[in-house]
Structure 1
């Protein structure tokens, strides 16, 4: 990669062993006695433990836990000017103990600030929150959301109720106060206190879970629009992360069509759903669907306003990692620049590109 890029999804290690020192002593003792009390792991994954085989440090430790290895394999190799850290540990979003969940997320944030953001100026963090407890979540956003190196709030797509519900308004109020996008990262569907993977119930295999994720993400998107979140919070931005991309085109067509016939039921929705999407929602590239031909691809990209809404993400160091130089098809110059840099820079308030060549 000659021109520098912004990667919107890098999973730095935030294992329980790493963050445990940042937990209150009472929780450290409970974990020692009874275990972490975290849901997850219902399905087999891919790769080696769900990660790239070569992303594990030679000296031991989990994939993504070693900054030097991340720098060598990804940041330096692909000229990543800014990398948005999205962590691990999403299982806490499916835990029913609200106070524990809030303390766990606080520990992730403290660990990330000290061991990652302070060690490499290219990195930016995501505020982990106990989204199942919106008031506690808002307090955590207020606590660290004003930092210049924290650029978004992140939650899992697995949830008890769709994110357009007024139940979550305290979170969005805090996001708006600190000008932070609200990012929904796939995961924890059907786990713990969260709802099933599909409207038909729970799935059997991991491949089914992956294929069901667009429907889950679509439900959240429809909820944002028809419950009027973007009317209540006109400056809020939402990121849909790691659920695919091109499925959004026919979904937006359907939202617009249904709105025309049923908009009397939601008079507060003043614009077409696709217009709310274009203004308020951004989408990350990984995993990017293959199309039968280039004509279909270009039509679908136009339909989701990709020049404005699409942002690159690698998903490092997960097994389905997307290499910045190989993952996407060839794009014309403006679209490439917007996907790999400009759209993310605008969303996260990052400076213009500084480097053109790998040093």
Structure 2
């Protein structure tokens, strides 16, 4: 396969999966606890027995919101391709391989790294059933990607409640050739400085398979008792600060010493942007030099970033200006298809504009070479 552009951040959202996927494949003990589709006030929607709501069937973004014209510009642009109209007709462009590839072609992209069912395991509020749900999803994803293994690179979704279960699922997926582990991130997840994570770090170190943490932001505020004008202020603050939550995760990981103990461990921070990272690296170095040299680190914190970590972004002109501090080997571009904060189907326009000031070699690394190396792809 010849690659010109690889999107290192694409999505398979639960609400675009086959409606009976989980109930059809769950064991008898879990069948009633699986996400399933019911008729709602705005049409078919995904729910669970414990009251979880995953969103409208084939809805907008990972939360399956209703598409309303004129509210979000990028959603309007996606709607102009017929994406949501097709969804209402039951045409699942995200999760039918031939249609997914056509949407890659529309965007000038030859392959995608696929994150899946964002936040759904936490939303299910049922840890045992979540493990079953993720196993079913990983099996479906394996078959989906086999239709075009050089263009559809799926990340196995790894649970995070019980580390024994997590490692078992990671190894099950590793044995059949998965290219990456996507930890099912949630706001109340065990912090990365906790020894709880040690078995997963060791698993990833030994297999060489990168571990991914996709941004989901902090815990959503409770809007129920706020006046509408206050709600809009809080929403603007929450959405704008979404990616900043990943700074704490990066600091927790580095200061845990995991990257020192496991030098073959590779970490990807998905869709968190770039511009904040140089400050965090500099500040970690400062504090380590000043008062934390007793930690299990033999190098500056920033050196572990450059040796073992990656970040993906969709549009970040400020971050690109800081590329010398970030490291051009540590950055991967992604379209974020089909989320409303992404840039599909206009990726080439954004890439041309934002990378016009970098070298041809840096552009090659950001748009394809780094992803090819990390996910073992070849031209």
Task: Tell me whether 1:48 sits opposite 2:78 in the alignment.
Answer: no
Deviates more, 1:318-327 or 1:99-108: 318-327
TM-score normalized by the length of structure 2:
0.78
How many residue pairs get aligned? The number is 330
Q: Structure 2 residue aligned with 1:26, among 26, 29, 36?
A: 29
8 Å Cα contact 2:217/2:241 also seen in 1: no
Please report how far the alpha carbon of residue 263 of structure 1 lies from its aligned counterpart in structure 2 after TM superposition. 2.2
Give unpaired runs (5+ residues) of structure 2: 39-46, 56-61, 222-230
8 Å Cα contact 1:244/1:289 also seen in 2: yes
Consecutive aligned runs of 4 or more in structure 1 exceeding 6 Å deviation:
43-47
8 Å Cα contact 2:12/2:117 also seen in 1: yes
Q: Secondary structure at the match of 1:303?
A: helix
Please report how far the alpha carbon of residue 188 of structure 1 lies from its aligned counterpart in structure 2 after TM superposition. 6.3
Which aligned pairs between 1:112-131 and structure 2 lie closer than 5 A?
A: 112-114=141-143, 116-121=144-149, 122-131=151-160
Q: For 1:184 and 1:203, locate their aligned partners in 2 and report how far apart those are by CA, in whole Å.
A: 28
Task: Tell me whether 1:312 sits opposite 2:362 in the alignment.
Answer: no
Give unpaired runs (5+ residues) of structure 1: 193-201, 354-359
Residues 13, 160 of structure 1: CA spacing in aligned structure 2 closer, same or farther, 3 A cutoff? closer
Residues 29, 297 of structure 1: CA spacing in aligned structure 2 closer, same or farther, 3 A cutoff? closer
Specify the alignment match of 2:309 in structure 1. 281
Specify the alignment match of 2:363 in structure 1. 336
Residues 190, 120 of structure 1: CA spacing in aligned structure 2 closer, same or farther, 3 A cutoff? same
CA offsets 1:140-170 (integer angstroms, 9 cap, x no match): 011111223x211112263423223211112
CA offsets 1:295-320 (integer angstroms, 9 cap, x no match): x853x111111x11011111111112
Q: For 1:106 and 1:154, locate their aligned partners in 2 and report how far apart those are by CA, in whole Å.
A: 13
Q: Structure 1 residue aligned with 2:255, among 214, 218, 226?
A: 226
Q: For 1:185 and 1:18, locate their aligned partners in 2 and report how far apart those are by CA, in whole Å.
A: 26
Please report how far the alpha carbon of residue 61 of structure 1 lies from its aligned counterpart in structure 2 after TM superposition. 4.8
Specify the alignment match of 1:350 in structure 2. 377
Q: For 1:35 and 1:64, locate their aligned partners in 2 and report how far apart those are by CA, in whole Å.
A: 22
Please report how far the alpha carbon of residue 231 of structure 1 lies from its aligned counterpart in structure 2 after TM superposition. 1.6
Specify the alignment match of 2:227 in structure 1. none
Residues 281, 157 of structure 1: CA spacing in aligned structure 2 closer, same or farther, 3 A cutoff? farther
8 Å Cα contact 2:138/2:157 also seen in 1: yes
8 Å Cα contact 2:244/2:272 also seen in 1: no
CA offsets 1:183-228 (integer angstroms, 9 cap, x no match): 1101263169xxxxxxxxx997443233333432111111111111
CA RMSD in angstroms comes to 3.0
